[in-house]
Structure 1
Amino acid sequence: MIHYDDSIDFTSPFIIQFNNDPNGRISNKNDLKDYFSRALNKFQDLHFELLNTFLSVNSLVIHYKSVNNMIAAEYLEFNDHGKIIQVKAHYLNSF
């Protein structure tokens, strides 16, 4: 969790399921840690297959195969200290 800024803005359709939050958003590192714990409890054999990475200035997109072979892309934005300040998780036709 050290690579996330304390004021992380993290959005994902999975947050809607695991946190019962219709906005699908987490806005602090402690809540993100709790969310990850719930997700890891549900998907105990969780693993990812990296497909591509796309680099830009202060941001990165990771394209990968996710839970249940869903195709995913995550946009990550970094602050000046190299901490992740924003994540937007996207899934191909999965929700």
Structure 2
Amino acid sequence: MDHQEFAHMWVQAWNAHDLEEILSHYSDDIEITTPMITLATGGKESSLQGKEAVREYWRKALDKFPDLHFDLIHSTAGVDSVALFYKSIIDKHAVEVMFFNEDGKISKMYAHYD
């Protein structure tokens, strides 16, 4: 799949607040690392592993930010990876780097915010 096509599908799923559609892009053993986890856990951790842990974290995030909306600015492709640059919640800019497994699912994700 083209990285721009993927980026638009990914943003569309988030903007629809469709948690199952969001999670459909990720492997069961997904590992995410983001400073937002640190904020949510009071500084205890910055990574989550496994689709169920990620589902619960994102469900809470969608509940907390019912007006969540992402605006894609740019996407770039790497080797088995993509980086998305977008406007996130609370007017923050974000870059997410996602690494795909052999099944085309995201197995690792790192988020960066300004």
Q: TM-score, normalised by structure 1?
A: 0.91
**Structure 1 regions of 5+ residues with no counterpart?**
none
Once residues 87 and 21 of structure 1 are traced to their aligned partners in structure 2, the CA distance between those partners, rounded to angstroms, is 19
Instruction: Report deviation, 1:56.
Output: 1.1
Q: CA deviation at 1:74?
A: 0.2
Q: 2:49 aligned with 1:35, yes or no? A: no
Identity of aligned residues (%): 36
- CA RMSD in angstroms comes to 1.1
After superposition, what is the alpha-carbon deviation per residue over 1:2-51, rounded to whole angstroms, capped at 9, x for unaligned?
22111111011111122345221001100000000110111110000100
Q: 1 or 2, which has the higher strand percentage?
A: 1
Number of positions where the alignment pairs a residue of Structure 1 with one of Structure 2: 92
**TM-score, normalised by the number of residues in structure 2:** 0.77
Unaligned runs of 5+ in 2: 1-22
| 1:68 matched residue in structure 2 | 90
Q: Which runs of 4+ in 1 moved over 6 A?
A: none
Q: Which of the pair is proportionally richer in helix?
A: 2
